[in-house]
């Protein structure tokens, strides 16, 4: 495992070191333009830069010299400024860690607010009529961080003057950036946690604890402890994403963080800074991943070791809802109205006009109709985002089924900012229309793979899987009938939550010359083009942002009905507390009783598929599926 992780880090650093040569551009010319754009690139000037930087020795020699100096704590000097790299990277890392801490605090509070209703209903044993988390959290999770940052800076920082909008000089300068990063991340984590909590409250320990007089607050706390380990890998990914991936927010608020430093070094091909920043992100990802795995073992380690868990993902009947149809109808109406208009027609006399009958969504900085551009950009935005999300889902699930192989790979890939991934993909595959899709897919699978591995680890430790395996079920049968039905639905819902973010990531790369370019009406490109006018003409930004929010609402509300195809197993409780397992549509006399439904989490008798016991200290119990359930699946 350690050798595999070291090999991945070495491959990443080698790829970064070869970036100027992979991109087929003269490194001396790139450095000259970054140092002084006005200076003429004469052959004499370029030869002097090559001699100064040692470019004639080739990339292998440069990488070897950099690694040799790194062993002595010297990461070299910047090719652009000539300053020492180590102090600048450490200073930027410290800023990013402070920003990350504030953002995580905001994310935790936001996630708690999203799932507070489910915790309250579950503690009171009133989850039967519960609906999933509201649409507000879905819209919040789809907000682009740079749009949130721009609005907060313009409204709270400039117009109201409550908090500083630019710079990094003290704790109060951290509030707005932390809100910009933490609100969407917390909404996403909260929805994922809200998806798991009903399964925890449905386990047998919850009613048993309530019957013994355990307060509802204590039951809710134990339910959180049961669900949090499944989300810890994604929480660790957020930790790294809030440092290297916070480039847009750092740009808006002028924060000298590690993400911004790495982006500037990547664009200027300042290899010493880029390599040191990438190495810092990789080390941070490794530490975050190790801490999350250790925390998960501390929370439910004995149950994982003894195979004494129950599945959090019990099949349930999908509830019919009209919300996806409502949001989808609104989105289709906007697209249909926009398709009837010309998205490229310029009218300089109508620049930045407010919404009217002639222009329902107003006009942009060139006088083009915003509604027309939103409508015509729908096809390319939705098609490419859906294709990338589907590819990321397939890759993430397949690699998530191999956690020993994919764990170090996820940590390494997650440490690569999307911009750097795009530059590497461009160097290997060349610039073209497929470059953004390849770059985003290269990093978008990582959180889905981490989620799959975490759920798979817990599902393999369930008692019903032990029973089914003991009855002779093979690995493929267990995968098909037990593991995939439990793991795939929540991972698919997670992928749908990230669909609008994928659309934004694709568009953001267009500004680097790596994909869609103006005057294309792609939604993310519309957001970026109109961002400078957010204060003067907010409608130009709100229109594409609303379209993306509607896309997220459709994905999230429709994703709530994702179920594993095939016969549905429903667990029911008789009046005396004895459970039954039945297939929908089966006759009552064919249903098999579940024996030994009250078991201790850490107790399991050898040679049996269902065991009984109680915990006299806490009064909490777990459930174990039995031979009846195992025979049915086997």
The answer to whether residue 204 scores a pLDDT higher than 90 is no
The C-alpha angle with vertex 87 and arms to 81 and 88, in degrees rounded to 5, equals: 50
Query: What tokens appear for 215 in the block?
Result: 């307060």
The answer to whether residue 374 scores a pLDDT higher than 80 is yes
Residue with more model confidence, 623 or 534 = 534
Residue with more model confidence, 238 or 509 = 238
Nearest CA-CA partner of 53 in 17, 24, 94: 17
- Residue 269, classed as helix, strand or coil, is coil
- Reported as type and span, the H/E element at residue 440 is helix 435-460
Main-chain phi, psi angles of 581, to 5 degrees = -120, 125
Query: What tokens appear for 157 in the block?
Result: 């920082």
Main-chain phi, psi angles of 520, to 5 degrees = -60, 140
Name the DSSP class of 474: -
Residue with more model confidence, 215 or 615 = 215
Nearest CA-CA partner of 629 in 301, 198, 315, 318: 315
- % of the chain surpassing 90 pLDDT: 7
Q: What is the CA radius of gyration of the chain?
A: 27
**What is the pLDDT at residue 366?**
87
Contacts of residue 276, defined as CB under 8 A and 6 or more positions apart, other chains included, come to 75, 76, 85, 86, 89
Residue with more model confidence, 56 or 417 = 56
Nearest CA-CA partner of 189 in 255, 123, 236: 236
Beta-sheet strands, E only, within 427-480? none
The answer to whether residue 46 scores a pLDDT higher than 80 is yes
- Reported as type and span, the H/E element at residue 570 is strand 569-573
The answer to whether residue 608 scores a pLDDT higher than 50 is no
- % of the chain surpassing 70 pLDDT: 79
Measure the CA–CA gap between 361 and 374, rounded to whole angstroms.
Answer: 9
Per-residue CA distances from 575 to 244, 406, 572, 624 (Å): 55, 46, 10, 19
**What residue has token string 């025979």?**
631
Predicted confidence (pLDDT) per residue in 255-311, tens digit? 988 888 887 887 788 888 988 988 888 888 888 888 888 887 788 777 766 666 666
Predicted confidence (pLDDT) per residue in 77-134, tens digit? 898 888 889 999 999 999 999 999 999 999 999 999 988 888 888 888 887 756 665 6
- Farthest-apart Cα atoms in the chain, separation: 92
* Number of alpha carbons in the 13 Å side-chain half-sphere of residue 446: 27
Averaged pLDDT score across all residues of the chain: 76
Predicted confidence (pLDDT) per residue in 139-173, tens digit? 677 666 777 787 788 778 877 888 888 888 888 89
**What is the pLDDT at residue 130?**
62
């Amino acid at each position: 495992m350690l050798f595999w992780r070291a090999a991945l880090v070495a491959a990443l650093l080698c790829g970064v070191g070869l970036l100027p040569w992979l991109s087929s551009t003269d490194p001396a010319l790139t450095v000259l333009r970054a140092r002084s754009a006005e200076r003429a690139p004469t052959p004499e000037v370029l030869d002097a830069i090559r001699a100064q930087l040692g470019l004639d020795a080739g990339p292998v020699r440069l990488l070897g010299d950099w690694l040799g100096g790194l062993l002595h704590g010297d990461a070299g000097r910047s090719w652009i400024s000539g300053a020492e790299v180590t102090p600048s990277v450490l200073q930027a890392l410290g800023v990013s860690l402070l920003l990350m801490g504030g953002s995580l605090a905001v994310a935790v509070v936001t996630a708690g607010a999203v799932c507070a209703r489910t915790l309250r209903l579950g503690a009171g044993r009133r989850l039967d009529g519960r609906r999933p988390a509201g649409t507000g959290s879905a819209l919040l999770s789809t907000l682009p961080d740079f749009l949130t940052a721009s609005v907060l800076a313009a409204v709270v920082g400039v117009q109201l003057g409550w908090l500083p909008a630019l710079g990094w000089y003290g704790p109060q300068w951290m509030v707005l950036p932390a809100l910009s990063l933490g609100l969407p991340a917390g909404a996403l984590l909260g929805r994922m946690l809200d998806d798991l909590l009903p399964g925890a409250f449905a386990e047998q320990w919850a009613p048993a604890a309530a019957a013994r007089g355990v307060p509802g607050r204590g039951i809710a706390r134990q339910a959180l402890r049961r669900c949090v380990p499944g989300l810890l890998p994604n929480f660790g990914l957020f930790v790294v994403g809030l440092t290297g991936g916070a480039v847009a927010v750092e740009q808006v608020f002028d924060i000298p963080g590690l993400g911004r430093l790495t982006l500037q070094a990547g664009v200027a091909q300042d290899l010493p800074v880029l390599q040191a920043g990438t190495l810092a992100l990789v080390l941070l990802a490794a530490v975050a991943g190790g801490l999350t795995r250790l925390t998960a073992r501390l929370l439910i380690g004995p149950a994982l070791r003894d195979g004494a868990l129950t599945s959090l993902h019990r099949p349930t009947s999908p509830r019919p809802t009209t919300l996806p149809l409502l949001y989808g109808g609104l989105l289709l109406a906007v697209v249909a109205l926009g398709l009837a208009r010309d998205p490229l027609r310029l009218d300089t006399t109508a620049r930045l006009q407010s919404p009217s009958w002639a222009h329902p969504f107003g006009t942009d900085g060139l006088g083009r109709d915003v509604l027309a551009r939103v409508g015509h950009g729908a096809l390319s935005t939705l098609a490419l985002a859906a294709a990338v999300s589907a590819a990321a889902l397939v890759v993430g699930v397949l690699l998530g089924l191999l956690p020993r192989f994919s764990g170090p790979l996820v940590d390494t890939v997650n440490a690569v900012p999307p911009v750097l991934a795009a530059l590497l993909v461009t160097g290997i595959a060349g610039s073209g229309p497929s470059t953004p899709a390849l770059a985003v897919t290269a990093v978008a699978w990582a959180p889905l793979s981490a989620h799959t591995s975490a759920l798979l680890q817990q599902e393999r430790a369930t008692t019903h899987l032990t029973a089914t395996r003991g009855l002779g079920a093979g690995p493929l049968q267990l995968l098909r009938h037990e593991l995939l039905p439990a793991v795939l639905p929540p991972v698919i819902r997670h992928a749908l939550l990230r669909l609008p973010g994928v659309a934004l990531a694709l568009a953001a790369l267009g500004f680097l010359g790596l994909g869609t370019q103006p005057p294309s009406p792609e939604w993310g490109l519309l957001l970026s083009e109109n961002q400078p006018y957010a204060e003067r003409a907010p409608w130009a930004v709100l229109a594409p942002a609303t379209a993306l929010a509607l896309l997220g609402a459709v994905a999230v509300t429709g994703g709530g009905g994702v179920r594993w195809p095939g016969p549905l197993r429903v667990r029911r409780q008789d009046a005396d507390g004895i459970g039954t397992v039945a297939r929908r549509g089966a006759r009552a006399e064919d249903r098999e009783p579940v024996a030994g439904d009250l078991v201790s989490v850490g107790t399991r008798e050898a040679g049996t598929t269902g065991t009984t016991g109680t915990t006299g200290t806490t009064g909490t119990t777990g459930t174990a599926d039995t031979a009846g359930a195992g025979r049915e699946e086997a």
